[in-house]
């Protein structure tokens, strides 16, 4: 199984560090590795830090933070080969980096899988930055390369203004899913591809603020590629992951926004696909009907 890597980007001040601290506090037993250019750029909450030495910070819950400087590939390979058995890598890009370029680089490393490009957009500042002739190219290209756009600082603007910003963001990145993240508070499952599978959820849908989910439990062999393509085409679904039976054996489906990937699964796994999305759009019965139609 390849180790998934999520790239977290967004212009300076968009709230990347706030999001990462929230994810570390709510890792739900997953071992996360956080990569950042320099530790000085990432202020991890002090109560999470267990030890720190020479480019490596140990975080409570089995997570770590690593500084990669100019050797991103080398540190990614070290994480991949680590005996700690990480579940997922969060790579925080600098405020002016383009996530698409980083995702391409990740895809060149054996044993790693680019999972998603998460771009944060400050509700109060993003349009102002996009109108600045010195910043526009960087800001707009970051937005265009997003699989998921997280709208931050939502408490600093009116409801009407927030809705207008979200409509504008959808125009800049029509392929991306747009989610709100006040103070970085989004469920881990909404942004990280190592979401818990059926065994950890049971059959009950999740209930977390603005998010909802359902578990698909297809019976009998089906075409995993067709199912993944169908799920990726549903605007209400932000992420989906799980195992399905095919004529050739088990397959693992990954869906993030409009992107999807299917891979052959090793070993026995419980069949089921967890789908998660914004509660305002999410219709569990509609999603369940999709798998029945594909069966």
Give the CATH number, domain containing residue 271.
3.30.1220.10
Return the minimum-mean-pLDDT range out of 13-22, 34-43, 97-106, 190-199. Answer: 190-199
Task: Give per-residue pLDDT as tens, 32-60.
Answer: 999 987 655 567 888 888 888 766 889 88
Question: Which of 191, 222, 241 is the C-terminal boundary of a domain?
Answer: 191
Do residues 66 and 120 share a domain?
yes
Q: Are residues 180 and 235 in the same domain?
A: no
What digits encode the pLDDT tens for the residues 246-286?
988 899 998 998 889 898 887 788 888 888 888 878 888 88
Question: How many domains does the chain fold into?
Answer: 2
The pLDDT of residue 128 = 95
Q: Are residues 220 and 130 in the same domain?
A: no
Clarify whether residues 184 and 203 are in a common domain: no
Summarised one tens digit per residue, pLDDT across range 115-145 is 999 999 999 999 999 999 999 999 999 999 9
**42 and 160 inside one domain:** yes
Residue 152 sits in the same domain as residue 206:
no
Specify whether 147 is located in the same domain as 56.
Answer: yes
**Three-state SS sequence of the chain:** CCEEEEEEECCCCCCHHHHHHHHHHCCCCCCEEEEECCHHHCCCCHHHEEEEECCEEEECCCEEEEECCCCHHHHHHHHHHCCCCCCEEEEECCCCCCHHHHHHHHHCCCCEEEEEEEEEEECCCHHHHHHCCCCHHHHHHHHHCCCEEEEECHHHCCHHHHHHHHHHHHHHCCCCEEEECHHHCCCHHHHCCCCCCHHHHCCCCCEECCEEEEEECCCCCCCHHHHHHHHHCCCCCCEEEEEEEECCEEEEEEEECCEEEEEECCCCCCCEEEEEEECCCCCHHHHHHHHHHHC
Q: What is the mean pLDDT of residues 64-85?
A: 88
- Which residues touch 149 (CB under 8 Å, ≥6 apart)? 119, 120, 121, 143, 169, 173, 176, 177, 178, 179
**Domain check: are 75 and 135 in the same one?**
yes
Q: Which of 39, 106, 101, 94 is nearest to 66 (CA)?
A: 39
185 and 218, same domain (yes or no): no
Both 185 and 76 in one domain: the answer is yes
Which range of residues forms the domain containing residue 183? 3-191
Regarding whether 206 and 118 lie in a shared domain, the answer is: no
Domain stops at, among 191, 207, 239: 191
Looking at 164, 191, 218, which one is the last position of a domain?
A: 191
Distance CA 246, CA 133 (A): 52
Looking up residue 90, the CATH number of its domain turns out to be 3.40.50.300
pTM recorded for the entire structure? 0.85
């Amino acid at each position: 199984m390849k180790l998934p890597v999520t790239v977290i980007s967004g212009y300076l001040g968009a709230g990347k560090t706030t999001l990462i601290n929230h994810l570390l506090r709510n890792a739900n037993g997953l071992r996360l590795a956080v990569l950042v250019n320099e530790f000085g750029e990432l202020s991890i909450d002090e109560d999470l830090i267990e030890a720190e030495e020479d480019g490596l910070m140990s975080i409570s819950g089995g997570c770590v933070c690593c500084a990669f400087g100019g050797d991103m590939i080398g540190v990614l390979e070290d994480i991949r080969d680590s005996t700690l058995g990480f579940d997922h890598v969060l790579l925080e890009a600098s405020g002016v980096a383009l996530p698409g370029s980083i995702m391409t680089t990740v895809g060149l490393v054996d044993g790693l899988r680019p999972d998603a490009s998460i771009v944060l957009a400050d509700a109060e500042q993003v349009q102002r930055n996009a109108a600045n002739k010195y910043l526009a190219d960087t800001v707009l290209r970051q937005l265009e390369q997003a699989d998921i756009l997280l709208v931050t600082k939502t408490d600093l603007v009116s409801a009407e203004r927030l809705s207008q910003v979200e409509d504008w963001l959808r125009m800049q990145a029509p392929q991306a899913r747009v989610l709100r993240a006040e103070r970085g508070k989004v469920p881990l499952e909404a942004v990280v591809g190592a979401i818990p599978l059926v065994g950890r959820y049971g059959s009950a849908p999740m209930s977390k603020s603005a998010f909802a989910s359902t578990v698909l439990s297809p019976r009998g062999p089906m075409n995993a590629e067709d199912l993944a393509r169908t799920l990726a085409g549903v605007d209400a679904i932000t992420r989906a992951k799980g195992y399905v039976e095919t004529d050739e054996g088990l397959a693992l489906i990954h869906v993030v926004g409009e992107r999807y990937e299917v891979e052959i699964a090793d070993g026995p796994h419980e069949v089921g696909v967890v789908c998660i999305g914004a509660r305002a759009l999410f219709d569990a019965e509609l999603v369940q009907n999709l798998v029945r139609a594909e069966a």
